[in-house]
Structure 1
């Protein structure tokens, strides 16, 4: 049984760890990477203790190597109208 269920929006992106993190009661951080989320993983583990949390997220946001910010960028193959 997981310690808690946490929405991905409540987690913080840690650039140094390249992972989403959430405070653990032991003082360390629960961690889960974008690659793990893309693979459908929903468990973020603490590296210092045996606790883990269940991450609530929309798998489609991480499917096919994309994330929310990438979907806002235009693709390189757009038609251009010349007048």
Structure 2
């Protein structure tokens, strides 16, 4: 299994004020989104293991 991912800076996201969400186009033609609260809370996420997919589109 091959896993592809990119690190994307929050500055590269489009902020939608009405939704209070940051949006970024996924290469699979979907959209990755994160809410303002999720971004601002500073929550730490563990590094992905090499045997799991990050995003399944």
Alignment TM-score, normalising by the size of structure 1: 0.43
Structure showing the higher strand proportion among its residues: 1
With over 3 angstroms needed to count, the CA separation of the structure-2 counterparts of 1:41 and 1:16, relative to structure 1, is same
Q: Distance in 2 between matches of 1:32 and 1:42?
A: 14
Structure number, greater radius of gyration: 1
User: Number of aligned pairs?
Assistant: 46
In the superposition, relative to structure 1, how do residues 14 and 2 fare at CA in structure 2: closer, same or farther (>3 Å)?
farther
Higher RCO, Cα 8 Å, sep 6+: 2
What root-mean-square deviation, in Å, do the aligned CA atoms of Structure 1 and Structure 2 show? 2.8
Which structure shows the bigger proportion of residues in helix conformation? 1
Q: Which runs of 4+ in 1 moved over 3 A?
A: none
Alignment TM-score, normalising by the size of structure 2: 0.58
Query: Gapped runs of 5+ residues in structure 1?
Result: 44-49, 53-83
Query: Gapped runs of 5+ residues in structure 2?
Result: 46-53
Q: How does 1:50-65 map to 2 (within 5 A)?
A: 51=55
